[in-house]
DNA sequence: GTGAAAGCGCTAACAC
DNA sequence: GTGTTAGCGCTTTCAC
């Protein structure tokens, strides 16, 4: 068995409560006793049982990070930011992946409601508008922070990037580079983030009298590749494509390579992406780069404000700007 | 307050233990009572307090995944595999990042020793040979599985890829493509994984009477870029480079782009990498692709065998082969 | 400054 | 088939 307060108390001929207080450096305990306890605890390599104290205190020192997936470079970077803050604050990070499945999201969120975690950071699944499970968290007073993909009907803290504006400047960029037939490649469903990007796109097109053309991808890669191929080989092939999701943009690249459509000569491509190596692609990919690490860090910091300082952060809506990095994929030849 | 067994017992005029047994579907309890309990629990949306049961049962249903970082595509994919298995088994995944810092690794591992987690999956930090903290886990009977980066002196379950052989075939591949001055780019420190790759490299060179040339990177990107640049501009520039770490290989790409050294004409490049988009790079990068998702999944499965079936998996050393995918970066022009 | 005792929510041995 | 009870390891009143 591992060493407990009880054992320390017995060996040191002290009461359990005295040891407990000594270990938490209570002012009620004499310096001398504290020293004895600390020293002995260190000698036995005492590590407190987190469950006993969690049970008693009603807090776990755990946070949940619920993500659609982690293969994506955006979420990897975000985890980094979140975990960094959590570790600094002495919290533990539980990671859950929903794989874009609302059922999983629901059951995961449900499990977050009985003390296993003190707070939740979430980037919601795409494609569905159910959100009662999130509201329930809320009712159970588990602080909740949205980052990147928010669920708009739930009024709580959120950290996002300026998606509308990003969609707008991405589109303007293509127009400036001479594109006149610009397609917006996105996923179906009601993901606020892609909607906002699309709205920015549409606004820019409207201002320039250009026709709107939205293409929808699916979860299946082969289907997407076939669809993209068809579009690129069609008579009115777009001369510019905006990938609202990194994965989709890369599928455009794959297709172009496969059927020898030249980027940027035949079609210019810009992507919402967090890829570190966009510059190493063929051709280097113009990106709207989201501040993933920053967003993760900020979201976590917000959560800890709610947890530790009991501050109400419900109404904090933080927007961290993305930056457009122009590269060869949108160059005028 | 949230709903507890006590409340259900009181409302249903049953004993706490009866409710507890009913909820765990014990055969001691009548079907009728079970039904009443289940129904009422569902109606109140009862969620068991994990800490109470963990405290009592001495197990947490949590596992720890300790990684150097997560920005890397390899570890992202591995987390995916691990989390998938954990979720299926009803376990929770705690993710910890060491950022290659042995001190952090030590303190994280220490925290895993008092019941917070039932088992640990780890890919150890590079560059240091301290491992007493790992041995301690061991002594506390916390099952431990190494994946990818193992700590060899600790005799426990491990899931790795065939690094020696991979190093060997990577080198042979370069030789077959006509390279005669082949450099191995790696990190200093005693990481078994890079050592094995290096040994494979050295063996292939020895068999072909080619001189060994090992280049060491650091944690600082600028330093690496400067070093790589110097090597590429030197009189006896290598005609082939093996990146034993994905990041280093990409730094070679960055440098080549910057100083207009042509891959593969001037220098051929092959990398140990899990990049999905290696084919989209300029030029497409030849890789030794590690089965990251598989490795994560296998490691987790092994851990659960130890946890659930109490099987001794200490002596399981599973090797999952990597595959060489030849692309343009090693093409003969 | 220290100790005794209750109790967090749950489980499991044992009694009835 | 159901209830009583003790206790997991810790914190926190409240006595002394």
Give the DSSP H/E element, type plus range, for residue B247: helix B246-259
pLDDT in tens, A193-237: 999 999 999 999 999 999 999 999 998 999 999 999 999 999 999
Nearest Cα to A54, choosing from B247, B217, B279, B53? Answer: B53
Asked if pLDDT for residue B72 goes beyond 80, the answer is no
Assign B290 a pLDDT band (cuts: 50, 70, 90). very high
pLDDT one-digit tens code per residue, A184-193: 999 988 888 9
pLDDT tens track for B123-178: 998 766 778 898 888 777 899 999 999 988 889 999 999 999 999 999 999 999 99
pLDDT of B129 reads 72
Percentage of the residues of chain B whose pLDDT score is greater than 70: 99
Compute the average pLDDT of residues B188-195: 88
**Contact residues on chain B for A254, CB-CB shorter than 8 A:** 279-280
Which residues from chain B sit within 8 angstroms of residue A87, using beta carbons? 96-97, 104
Q: pLDDT band at B30, cuts 50/70/90?
A: confident
User: Measuring CA to CA, how many Å separate A75 from each of A95, A138, B238, B276?
Assistant: 11, 24, 37, 16
Measured in angstroms, what separates residue A30's CA from nucleotide D14's C1'?
A: 19
pLDDT in tens, A72-104: 788 999 999 999 999 999 999 999 999 989 999
Name which of B45, B44, B37, B43 is nearest B19 in CA terms. B37
For chain B, the distance separating the N- and C-terminal CA atoms, rounded to the nearest angstrom, is 72
pLDDT at B309: 78
Provide the percentage of residues in chain B whose pLDDT is more than 90: 73
> For residues A256 and A228, is the Cβ–Cβ distance under 8 A?
no
Residue A248 maps to a domain: yes
Is residue A331 in a domain? Answer: no
On chain A, the residues whose CB falls within 8 A of the CB of B3 are: none
From the CA of B41, how many Å to the C1' of C4?
37
B17-35 mean pLDDT = 88
Of B96, B114, B283, the CB nearest to A282: B283
- Contacting B residues, span 21-80, partner chain A, CB-CB under 8 Å: 45, 47-52, 54-55, 60, 62, 65, 69-73, 76-77, 79-80
The pLDDT of residue B1: 60
The predicted structure's pLDDT at residue A129: 72
Nearest CA among A50, A58, A55, A54 for reference residue A141: A58
Closest by Cα among B325, B323, B320 to B147: B320
pLDDT, residue B41, reads 92
Same domain, A150 and A251: no
pLDDT of residue A165: 97
Task: Tell whether B327 is covered by a domain.
Answer: no
In this prediction, residue B255 carries a pLDDT of 95
Does residue A123 carry a pLDDT above 80? Answer: yes
Q: Are residues A155 and A300 in the same domain?
A: yes
Task: Please say if the pLDDT value at position B198 is more than 70.
Answer: yes
Of residues B86 and A277, more confidence is placed in: B86
Q: Average the pLDDT over B97-102 and give the result.
A: 92
Q: What is the CATH number of the domain that holds A131?
A: 3.40.50.2300
Residue B181 domain flag: yes
Residue B332, domain member (yes or no): no
State which residues form the domain around B285. Answer: 163-289
CA of B40 to C1' of D3 (A): 20
Quick one: pLDDT band at residue A140, thresholds 50, 70, 90? confident
Statement: residue B302 has pLDDT above 70? yes
- Rounded CA separation A286/A272 (Å): 9
Both A126 and A172 in a single domain? no
Q: Are residues B203 and B242 in the same domain?
A: yes
* Residue B50, in any domain of the structure: no
A234 and A254 both lie in a single domain: yes
Q: Which nucleotides in chain D lie less than 7 Å from some protein C-beta?
A: 1-13
Residues B211 and B132 grouped into a single domain? no
Structure tokens at A145: 């922070």
> Residues A203, A240: one domain?
yes
Burial B104-134 (b: 16+ CB within 10 A, else e): bbbebbebbbbbbbbbbbbbbbbebeebebb
Residue B92 is assigned to a structural domain of this protein: yes
| Pair (A189, A112) in one structural domain | no
pTM for the whole thing?
0.92
Does A71 lie in the same domain as A12? no
| Residues B155, B238 within the same domain | no
Q: Are residues A168 and A285 in the same domain?
A: yes
> Does residue A230 share a domain with residue A311?
no
Q: Of A283-292, B22-31, B300-309, which range is least confident?
A: B22-31
**Does residue B261 form part of some domain?**
yes
B18 in contact with nucleic chain D (CB within 7 A): yes
Note the pLDDT of residue A72.
72
Q: How many domains does chain A have?
A: 3
Q: Is the pLDDT of residue A1 over 70?
A: no
């Amino acid at each position: 068995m591992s060493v407990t307060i009880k054992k320390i108390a017995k060996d040191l001929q002290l009461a359990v409560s005295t040891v407990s207080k000594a270990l938490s450096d209570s002012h009620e305990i004499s310096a001398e006793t504290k020293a004895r306890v600390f020293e002995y605890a260190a000698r036995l390599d005492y590590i407190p049982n987190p469950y006993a104290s969690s049970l008693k205190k009603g807090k776990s020192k755990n946070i949940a990070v619920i993500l659609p997936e982690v293969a994506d470079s955006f979420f990897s970077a975000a985890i980094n930011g979140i975990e960094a803050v959590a570790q600094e604050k002495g919290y533990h990070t539980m990671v859950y992946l929903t794989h874009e499945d609302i059922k999983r999201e629901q059951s995961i969120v449900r499990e977050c409601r009985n003390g296993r975690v003190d707070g939740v950071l979430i980037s919601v699944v795409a494609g569905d508008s159910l959100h009662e499970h999130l509201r329930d968290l809320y009712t159970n007073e588990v602080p909740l922070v949205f980052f990147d993909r928010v669920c708009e009907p739930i009024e709580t803290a959120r950290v996002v990037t300026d998606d509308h504006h990003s969609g707008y400047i991405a589109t303007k960029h293509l127009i400036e580079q001479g594109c006149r037939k610009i397609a917006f490649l996105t996923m179906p469903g009601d993901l606020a983030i892609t909607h906002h990007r699309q709205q920015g796109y549409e606004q820019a097109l409207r201002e320039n009298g250009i026709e709107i053309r939205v293409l929808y991808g699916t979860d299946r890669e082969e289907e997407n590749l076939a669809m993209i191929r068809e579009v690129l080989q069609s008579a009115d092939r777009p001369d510019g494509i905006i990938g609202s999701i990194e994965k989709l943009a890369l599928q455009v690249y794959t297709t172009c390579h496969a059927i020898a459509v030249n980027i940027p000569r035949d079609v210019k491509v810009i992507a919402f992406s967090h890829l570190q190596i966009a510059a190493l692609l063929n051709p280097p990919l113009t990106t709207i780069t989201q501040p993933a690490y920053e967003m993760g860090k900020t979201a976590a910091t917000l959560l800890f404000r709610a947890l530790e300082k009991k501050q109400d952060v419900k109404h904090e809506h933080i927007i961290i700007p993305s930056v457009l990095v122009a590269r060869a994929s949108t160059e005028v030849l």
